Amino acid sequence: MGNIFIKSDADLAEMREACKLAARTLIEAAKLIEPGVTTDTINRFVHDYTIKRNAKPAPLGYRGYPKSVCTSINEVICHGIPSDRRLLEGDIINVDVTSILNGWHGDVSATFFVGEVSDAAKALVTVTRECLNLAIDKVKPRTRLGDIGAVIQHHAESHGYSVVRDFVGHGIGRHFHEAPQVLHFGKSGRGQRLLKGMTFTIEPMINQGDFRSRILDDDWTAVTIDGMLSAQFEHTIAVTDDGVEVLTAFDEPLLNCDIFK
């Protein structure tokens, strides 16, 4: 993955716009989520909304990925490919939007409820969102990457859940995926120290059961090996002088997602 690219204030001003667009796109896409809607409909919306704003959907054509957004339902951990699959009452679905605006990337995702979902699904989604929030709260200069992984792992495992190992957060900026890798597990006090101007995602994937994943024959869709549920939230953040800026923060509550911060 190479060097960590430190962003100047001028870089951040540009990157902030890409991140705001990604967050706004997710807010609007969330309004489509209801039983009967296909994931292709979500894909078409994200694609058109992005193009109309002179931006590009980063997933489209990325390493051969065929669509403009990832839609990961129930046991799908990440990289679910939109299709004619209709959302069903009781599903949980992660929608992961990455926008490229003026050469900068913004990457954000949330897990939504389709109609009424089980208490078990709600609990998993709530803990997953808490994992992301706890991790964001750790971000400031001198914090180590291991501190981020440790707080996520501790919170997830203390609720009886497991942390996916095969997919990680990442530096982001002019490139979709830059150094460093941001593991969602690990030991506090270990790993790279954070520096002002670093920009990266934190995107914990938390499973009800086994942490292991396998990839379907489409070469993208990652699912839990036991078929149990997986949830994920993602923000793109910047390390500031004394803390963190959530570049993909939502300026309106997300519909179909009763967690908002």
Q: Is 178 in the site for ligand MF3 (CB under 6 A)?
A: no
Query: Which residues have CB under 8 Å from 191's CB, separation 6+?
Result: 144, 145, 146, 147, 149, 183
Partner interacting with residue 248 (select from ligand MF3, Co ion, none; CB below 5-8 Å by kind): none
Q: Is residue 232 involved in binding Co ion (CB under 5 A)?
A: no
CA distance 185 to 14: 31
Residue 35: CB minimum distance to ligand MF3, A: 25
**Three-state DSSP class for residue 56:** strand
Q: Which of 149, 129, 128 is nearest to 138 (CA)?
A: 149
By three-state DSSP, how is residue 215 classified? strand
Supply 202's token pair.
């934190």
The tokens 């605006």 sit on which residue? Answer: 101
Tokens read off for 131:
């994992």
Residue 79: contacted member of Co ion, ligand MF3, none (CB under 5 to 8 Å, by partner type): ligand MF3
CB atoms closer than 10 angstroms to residue 55: 20
CB-nearer residue toward Co ion: 88 or 215: 215
For residue 185, the minimal CB distance to ligand MF3 (Å) is 17
Stretch that binds ligand MF3, among 8-16, 56-64, 142-150, 244-252 (CB under 6 A): 56-64
The one of Co ion, ligand MF3, none whose footprint includes residue 62, by CB under 5 to 8 A per kind, is ligand MF3
Give the x/- contact pattern for Co ion in 84-103, rule: CB under 5 A.
------------x-------
From 65, 141, 188, 249, residue interacting with ligand MF3 (rule: CB under 6 A): 65
